[in-house]
Amino acid sequence: MLTLLRDLRRLRRDTALPQGRPASIAIRHVDAGSCNGCEHELTLATSPYVDLQRFGLGVVASPRHADVLLVTGPVTTRMREPLLTAYHAMPEPRRVAALGDCALGCNLLGSASELVGAVEELLPVDLRIPGCPPDPERIANALLALLEPS
Amino acid sequence: MSDHRERFALALSDGWRFADLHSTPTEIRTLLVRDDGRTLLERTPHAGSVPTIVDLAPAAGWDEREAHDRDGVRFEGHEPLRPLLDHDLRLDRWTVPVHGHDAHQVAVGPIHAGVIESGHFRFHVVGERILHLDARLFYKHRGLERAAEGRTLDEGLAYAARACGACAAANGIAYALACEDALGLAPTPQLARVRTLLLELERMWSHLNDIAAVCAGVGLAAGNNRFAALTERARRLNAALTGHRFLFGSVRVGGSDLLIERVVVHAAREEVEALREESRSAWRELLFNGSFQDRLPDVGVLDAANARILGAVGPAARAAGVAEDARAAASGLAYDGFAPVVPKRAAGDVRARLEQRALELLQTFEVLERLLEGRIGPADAAPGGVERPIGVGRVESARGATSCVVERDGDRVARLRLRTGSYANWPAVAHAAVGNLLPDFPLINKSFELCYACADR
């Protein structure tokens, strides 16, 4: 156990993230049509190198428990309704984060008839996390900004 | 137009295997492959209707449904021809009717409970036991193939590669090989080396991730964390070598611009050796974890006979004992002497698929260590081959054989078709789920670890 903790401390020493546990936020992720790159990086934001959970940030199973809707991908026409349903299932106050260049409407690939486009075409976006895809450290840093008192 | 079916049946009896079927507004195109890596593309004009081949090759089921949705082609004898790409609102149009005492449906998705891609599963269950599963994907359909039409062959690469971030190198290289096949270009040994390197770098992080995913699937946090940390290191290695954690921008049609200095290559080789040793030690811990191992056998079985019938590919097929791997006969790549591996106990269950990843990782480390020797410089494909209107490229991605067919109009894309390992294997997931408990589905699904993006395009 001690070895494990020492290993974790060593892994985390080099990441430029704040120390401590300032607050807690529940995140609901919705893939609205991504290439799966953002999902793979978001998954590693919970790996031992970054370990989002230690800051009180966790991905929850239902939008009904969530403070933040974290959306990836250019919104496809087929994911428009499910995305809106998830948003409306969230309690107030709620915030929306757009993860990755596609969610921000940059360099979208695809047929116009299949894409709605950027997340902000549908929902008010509070946090923008650019990158194709943004790496786990960048995702974590951006999400931690939500914990700053505004 | 019955010669489509007759020629296909003849090719099958001649030792060819089904690899792809797709449509254009005027043609049906069927791709067949042989063990030696040769490909055969059959083209048949259609006037809105052709005889089905789904009884001869059940693996063509999804392809025919897609051709119907895309170009309105009817396949005589394929009844009922359910929609695939089209999202028909009527439940009875896309689900298989299940009747009986206490049989009921459980709808899951398109949004799932974790960080998972979007797709809908309609389970037909009695109690907790799954009788049948209808997978309704294509929520992430971006129309990439159509959007690529009219673009230059160089621009078209992004539409194939970015279909899936996790398989960007495999999809991109399959596309580049298809274009080069059409342009009469042959990859030089230098180009073959750099592309093989990219494919194996992708497989390395992917297999490490897939082992972590199975650990997560049974709630073994220690195993998940250990393999997730190794996945992170593998992605950092990608960035150190190519400037991108998912190798985006490393593939080009007709050559490679990748420049990696000797000292960087040397450091990468040392990191690969370290990853090999650490993943071996992490794997040993999994082997001796009884409560973990007890969760794996006899769950989600896909046996060899069904793997062949359904046209399953990649680790999922090899874990069932089907020793087929596109790397063994790859042209334009540097897999000299590569032989597929299968586990000793090729039972086609979750345990066998997990073991298969561990076995393949060893091969990948070996290939990487061989290729990471000396500077990597720009390389080009050599001209001089026969030019043709349609080219074919095939690679083995981390999920299995991926075929790309590119029809060109001069230097522009006329029709792009990308049939990935994930597309081939989704019907096998639905098959493997039958008879299992509903709560085991996430574990079964993770043991295949298919991309939705790769199938949806």
* Confidence tier at B1 by pLDDT (50, 70, 90): very low
What pLDDT, on the 0 to 100 scale, is given for residue A23?
Answer: 74
Q: Write phi, then psi, for B387 (nearest 5 degrees).
A: -85, 140
pLDDT digits (tens, 9 = 90+) for B373-400: 989 999 999 998 999 999 999 999 999 9
How much is the average pLDDT of B202-225? 96
Q: Is residue B300 domain-shared with residue B366, that is, in the same domain?
A: yes
pLDDT of residue A129: 97
Range of the domain at B41: 3-76
Of B113, B162, B225, the CB nearest to A35: B162
| B338 and B215 part of one domain | yes
- Which comes out higher in pLDDT, residue A59 or A15? A59
* pLDDT at position B133 over 50: yes
Same domain, B287 and B186: yes
Q: Which residues from A are below 8 Å from B when comparing CB atoms?
A: 11, 29-44, 46-49, 59, 61-62, 73-74, 76, 78-79, 82, 86, 109-111, 113-115, 132-133, 135-136
Mean of all residue pLDDT scores within chain B: 95
Whether residue B53 contacts residue B5, with contact meaning beta carbons closer than 8 Å, is answered with yes
CATH number of the domain encompassing residue B18: 3.30.920
Buried residues in B306-328 as b, exposed as e (16+ CB within 10 A): bbbebbbbbbbbbbbbbebbbbb
Please tell me whether residues B26 and B97 are part of one structural domain. Answer: no
Chain B residues with CB under 8 Å of A9 CB are none
Interface membership of B141 toward A (CB under 8 Å): yes
Q: What is the mean pLDDT of residues A73-100?
A: 95
Output phi, psi for B235, to 5 deg.
-70, -35
pLDDT band at A11 (very low <50, low <70, confident <90, very high): confident
Judge whether residue A21 has pLDDT over 90. no
Q: Which long-range contacts (CB under 8 A, 24 or more apart) does B429-433 make?
A: B429/B133, B429/B135, B430/B133, B430/B134, B430/B135, B431/B302, B431/B306, B431/B310, B432/B300, B432/B301, B432/B302, B432/B348, B433/B123, B433/B130, B433/B133, B433/B300
Residues of chain B neighbouring A61 (CB-CB closer than 8 A) = 113-114
Tokens of A130: 């650019």
Residues B123 and B170 both lie in one domain: no
- pLDDT, residue B282, reads 96
Contacts of B390 by beta carbon, 8 Å cutoff, 6+ apart: B29, B41, B43, B182, B405, B406, B407, B408
Q: What is the pLDDT of residues B86-101, one digit of tens each?
A: 998 888 889 998 888 9
Identify the pLDDT of residue B335.
94
pLDDT at B168 (0 to 100): 97
Q: Do B200 and B256 lie in a common domain?
A: yes
The ranges assigned to domains in chain A are: 2-147
pLDDT tens track for B406-429: 999 999 999 999 999 999 999 999
Is there a contact between B241 and B264 (Cβ–Cβ < 8 Å)?
yes
Which of B225, B231, B453 is opposite residue A34, by nearest beta carbon? B453
* Closest chain B C-alpha to A148 CA, distance in angstroms: 24
Which residue, among B192, B143, B168, B18, has the nearest Cα to B416 in the 3D structure? B143
Q: Is B1 on the interface with A (CB under 8 A)?
A: no
Nearest CB to A79 within list B110, B144, B248 = B110
Map residue B25 onto helix, strand or coil.
coil
- What is the rounded CA–CA span in Å between residue B417 and residue B171? 11
Please state, in angstroms and rounded to a whole number, the distance separating the CA atoms of residues A44 and A139. 10
In terms of pLDDT, which residue wins out, B94 or A149?
B94
Residue B310 phi, psi dihedral angles, 5° rounding? -80, -5
Containing B51, the helix (H) or strand (E) segment is: strand B49-51
The answer to whether residues B265 and B363 belong to one domain is: yes
B2 pLDDT band, cuts 50/70/90, is: low
Does residue B413 sit in the same domain as residue B274?
yes
Total structural domains in chain B?
3
B48 and B172: one domain?
A: no
Q: What are phi and psi of A67, to 5 degrees?
A: -95, -35
Q: The sheet that has B390-397: what strands, in order across it?
A: B390-397, B400-409, B412-419
pLDDT of residue B363: 97
Q: Which CATH number is associated with domain A2-147?
A: 3.40.50.12280
The count of other CB atoms within 10 Å of the CB of residue B93 is 12
B120, two tokens:
């809908």
Among chain B residues, the shortest Cα distance to A30 is held by: B111
Phi, psi of B86 (to 5 degrees): -70, 135
* Residue from the list B115, B147, B452 with its beta carbon closest to the beta carbon of A111: B147
In this structure, is residue B299 part of a structural domain? yes
Q: Among B308, B356, B360, B353, which Cα is nearest to B443's?
A: B353
Summarize pLDDT for B273-317 with one digit per residue, the tens: 999 999 999 999 999 999 999 999 999 999 999 999 999 999 999
Residues from chain A that touch B248, judged by Cβ atoms under 8 A, are: 132
State whether residue B235 sits within 8 Å of chain A by CB: yes
Interface check for B209 against chain A (CB to CB < 8 A): the answer is yes
Last residue of a domain, one of B50, B76, B102: B76
Q: Chain A interface, mutation test: which of B108, B232, B245, B250, most A Cβ atoms within 10 Å?
A: B232
Q: Which of B211, B238, B177 has its CA nearest to residue B372?
A: B238
CA distance B362 to B256: 27
In this structure, the answer to whether residues B333 and B396 fall within a common structural domain is yes
* Among A5, A34, A36, the residue to mutate for chain B (most B Cβ within 10 A): A36
Q: Are residues B130 and B40 part of one domain?
A: no
pLDDT of residue B351: 96
Token couple for B204: 């390395």
Structure confidence at residue A22 (pLDDT): 56
- pLDDT for A33: 96
CA A47 – CA A16 distance, rounded (Å) = 15
Q: Looking at the predicted structure, is the pLDDT value of residue A135 above 60?
A: yes
Residue B415 pairs in a beta bridge with B407
Q: Which tops the pLDDT comparison, B451 or A17?
A: B451
- Residue B272 sits in the same domain as residue B398: yes
DSSP string, B348-379: -SHHHHHHHHHHHHHHHHHHHHHH-SS-B--E
Cα distances (angstroms) measured from residue B331 to each of B182, B185, B246: 14, 12, 24
How many Å apart are CA B178 and CA B417, to the nearest integer? 10
Q: Which of B113, B142, B235 sits opposite A115 (nearest CB)?
A: B142
* Residue B427 falls inside a structural domain: no
Any A CB within 8 A of B107 CB: no
pLDDT for B147-167, tens place per residue?
A: 999 999 999 999 999 999 999
Would you say residue B261 has pLDDT above 60? yes
Residue B448 within any structural domain of the chain: no
| Residue B133 structure tokens | 């599963």
- Give the CB-side neighbour count of residue B73, counting CA atoms within 13 A: 27
Measured between alpha carbons, how far is B318 from B34 in angstroms, rounded to an integer? 17
On whether the CB atoms of residues B271 and B233 are closer than 8 A, the answer is yes
Q: Do A37 and B138 touch (CB under 8 A)?
A: no
Residue type, B250: S
